[in-house]
Amino acid sequence: MAYQLDNRPLDLRERFYFPEVIRGIGTLAGHFLRNLFFSRDANPDILARPRGLGYSDNVTLQYPEEKAPYPPGYRGLHRLVPREDGSPRCVACYMCATACPAQCIYIEAAEVPGDPIEKYPAKFVIDELRCVVCGFCVEACPKDAIRMDTGEHAPPSLERVHQLLDEKALLRGPAVSYLSDPWLRRPAPSIPAEALAAMTASARPYPDASDEYAQTPGFSVKALAAEARERAERAGTP
């Protein structure tokens, strides 16, 4: 149904504008008095807060005392995914740095001692101030070595150098191991036999779940959301 537009010319009362000014002042005074005398609901879900007479119209979160929960698909701060032995899954292939539109990833590759085939990142730095949070690095990684599933945003700082996260700051979170990882399927002189057996025993196949956001083997936003919900249930948080 089309809107009915009132195209009539302004009458004498409307040309003086005083009635509309008084109405505007009344509306402003009403909101001011309501916010002054009525308390605000501290419910972090802004849309679920009650409205109407007896409630404040102020819905601003008192950050950092109040924080809105992030959705499961939130692209949080980067992390380098570790293997079971604590080393990064990254093989320094430069695909994330190549795919990054902001050119905020810097990598220096080095050979794993005793293993002339495998490489590792001797230096892996992300400039979080240049990052545009597009997730292309996660999509491009063939080893599921970088994720944005921390649920955190870059902490505030007064100096730019504090926003340059290196491999020591990025390597954290739960370890991930897949049955098809090449370091589990071929002789790896750099990994002791006992550690290699433990890593192979804990490895899992690629999840079957895939979605429109991720086609990288082993990475799925839906799978990450399910893991986050399971961790929250085990921790006893809502």
User: Distance between CA atoms of 97 and 75, rounded to whole angstroms?
Assistant: 18
> pLDDT tens-digit profile of 72-94?
778 889 999 999 888 999 999 99
Cα distances from 216 to residues 142, 143, 212, in angstroms, run: 7, 8, 11
Report CA torsion sign: 124, 128, 129, 134. Answer: positive
Series of mean pLDDT values for 10-residue runs along the chain (238 residues): 76 79 89 78 65 71 75 84 91 94 95 83 94 90 89 86 93 88 76 82 72 55 76 72
**Cβ count near 126 (within 10 Å):** 29
Domain boundaries, the chain: 14-69, 79-223
**Per-residue pLDDT at 219:** 61
Pairing of strands 105-112, 146-147: unpaired
> pLDDT tens-digit profile of 217-237?
556 667 777 777 887 788 775
Closest C-alpha to 135, from 152, 147, 145: 147
Rounded to two decimals, what is the model's pTM?
0.66
User: Distance between CA atoms of 215 and 229, rounded to whole angstroms?
Assistant: 22
CATH topology of domain 79-223: Alpha-Beta Plaits (3.30.70)
The three state secondary structure string of 118-167 is EEEEEEEEEECCCCCCCCHHHHHCCCCCEECCCCCCCCCCCCHHHHEECH
